[in-house]
Amino acid sequence: MRKYWIGEEPMACPRPRVTKAGRAYMPKKYTDWKKLAGIYLFEQWQGEVYSSAVSVRIIAVFNRLKRTPKKRPERVWKQSKPDADNIAKSVLDLMVDVGILEDDNIVARLVVEKHYAGLGEDAHIAIEVANVEE
């Protein structure tokens, strides 16, 4: 099993925008996020490319809410937007772009967790990838 860590706040994959001329593009905020997050993954990548069935676990940790009391220092489940499937889409697309996954259709098992950060913890994304046979 390989573990990866992205030190950026998770971002959901948005819908493409369309110009008046009919050309589709992704919003700049998303493409900028992908570049930053891609640097984190590329620095940790050791050249292995998964090309057969894999299991992926994504733990998305969002910034702690200001109103959360300090007497509650642990992580809290996030039950609001963005949707877990859109977070998974952005992370899996990023893994394909970097070269970790040959294609995101090889993901046989996918677990996505959304949390608010614990006290003193920064927003990040933790990823675990393993061959299904392991």
pLDDT tens digit string along 80-98?
999 999 999 999 999 999 9
Instruction: Give the pLDDT confidence score for residue 71 in this predicted structure.
Output: 86
Q: Give the separation between CA 107 and CA 15, rounded to whole angstroms.
A: 22
- The pLDDT tens digits of the residues spanning 1-12 come to 999 999 999 999
Burial 2-20 (b: 16+ CB within 10 A, else e): eebebeebbbbbeeeeeee
At residue 31, the pLDDT reads 96
The per-residue pLDDT for range 17-53, each reduced to its tens digit, is 999 999 999 999 999 999 999 999 999 999 889 999 9
Coarse DSSP helix, strand, coil percentages of the chain, rounded to the nearest 5 percent? 25, 30, 45
Give the domain ranges of the chain.
2-15+24-131
What pTM, to 2 d.p., does this model score?
A: 0.93
Residue 21 tokens, joined: 């001329």
Cα torsion angle, 122, 14, 84, 111, sign: negative
Q: Where does 2-15+24-131 sit in CATH, by number?
A: 3.30.1330.70
For residue 42, give the DSSP letter: H
d(CA 74, CA 120): 10
Q: Is residue 10 within 8 Å of residue 123, measured between CB atoms?
A: yes
Residue among 67, 40, 60, 79 nearest 121 (CA): 60
Report pLDDT digits (tens) over 93-114: 999 999 999 999 999 999 999 9
Token pair belonging to 59: 């733990």
